[in-house]
Structure 1
């Protein structure tokens, strides 16, 4: 038998490639990584707390949606109250005897402008609230964040509406509940769920 016979069990072993950077040798900075076998898989992360993906809106999220609708309807009522005050403004000023004096009429017009501003603000709040309510079923995490911000501003509008038959107090309480419910983990999981 000769050393050239590949079937000879006692023959010369096959030549190994020269040893160099690779397994068992430290890598040089900037040297390309040599890997053996399959590339490394990306790290496995469990979204939604261990693989839980909500298929129905959680009850706490549904409650936040309903309370958000209550805030929007309250702003519709506030806008209606300001609209009524605006419609009766000239008649009220005439009954108070504020006609004829230019300085007093200027202040009356300034007051009328403030009422118009609050009417527009209440109408915008009502529209924004209704848009957010309609986005709860299919919206993403931005809807949740906007709900929290909307409820925060609604607390401020509730302070300005305290004189309207306790409607402002109702808005403040409901707004705090919306913030708490929208910030809870089930709500966050609902708005971060994958949509196919």
Structure 2
């Protein structure tokens, strides 16, 4: 069988196996960039976002909501304590004024002290409320100091809840449960992932 003359332009000229025709590669080798340009990434990221955006875990979100709830109730309680300070002073004055050995000046002094104590306690409760709400707001940034703040706050709430339970305050069970859950949710693996995640 003949392939024609070597100089015949219409004849079939055999090519050497393994050599590309006319100086161009017939098929791009897999995994190699072509024409001097790098291969495009498999999953291109949006501009300004070199990696996937971290999402707050559900347990951390739950702890954040609990902080808002505790802070809201404490803010309400602090305001009520400050508003009720005048009524509390009147109640003390009525109780001790029945004793004839106590002068009216002493009654007024004791009443003022009682009102002052209520106002100071209300301010302290409002400070705790601000602590809880600020910590919950800062949880979106997720820095380690926020995690420590949440755990310390929840520990203090748990301690005071136990003391309140000793005085037969049944409502302290709610704050006790919320405090324990906040500690668990912030200290577990999901909390560690969120608060120690890399920042870009």
TM-score in same-fold range (> 0.5): yes
Say which SS state the counterpart of residue 84 (structure 2) adopts.
helix
Following superposition of structure 1 onto structure 2, how do residues 1-196 of structure 1 map, counting pairs within 5 Å? 55-96=54-95, 98=97, 100-159=103-162, 166-196=170-200
Distance 1:193 1:186 in 2: 10
Bigger shift: residues 59-68 or 92-101: 92-101
Preserved contact between residue 89 and residue 115 of structure 2 (Cα < 8 Å): no
Distance 1:164 1:80 in 2: 24
Distance 2:110 2:89 in 1: 13
Distance 1:171 1:87 in 2: 28
Q: CA distance change for structure 1 residues 169 and 83 in 2, over 3 Å: closer, same or farther?
A: farther
- Larger-Rg structure: 2
Q: CA distance change for structure 1 residues 156 and 112 in 2, over 3 Å: closer, same or farther?
A: farther
Distance 2:176 2:183 in 1: 11
**Relative contact order, higher structure (CA 8 A, sep 6+):** 1
Q: CA distance change for structure 1 residues 133 and 75 in 2, over 3 Å: closer, same or farther?
A: same
Say which SS state the counterpart of residue 57 (structure 1) adopts.
coil
Query: How far apart are 1:73 and its partner, in Å?
Result: 1.3
Q: CA distance change for structure 1 residues 142 and 61 in 2, over 3 Å: closer, same or farther?
A: same
Distance 1:123 1:188 in 2: 29
Say which SS state the counterpart of residue 127 (structure 1) adopts.
helix
Say which SS state the counterpart of residue 56 (structure 1) adopts.
coil
TM-score (norm 2): 0.62
Aligned length in residues: 144
Query: How far apart are 1:94 and its partner, in Å?
Result: 4.8
| Gapped regions of structure 2 (runs ≥ 5) | 1-51
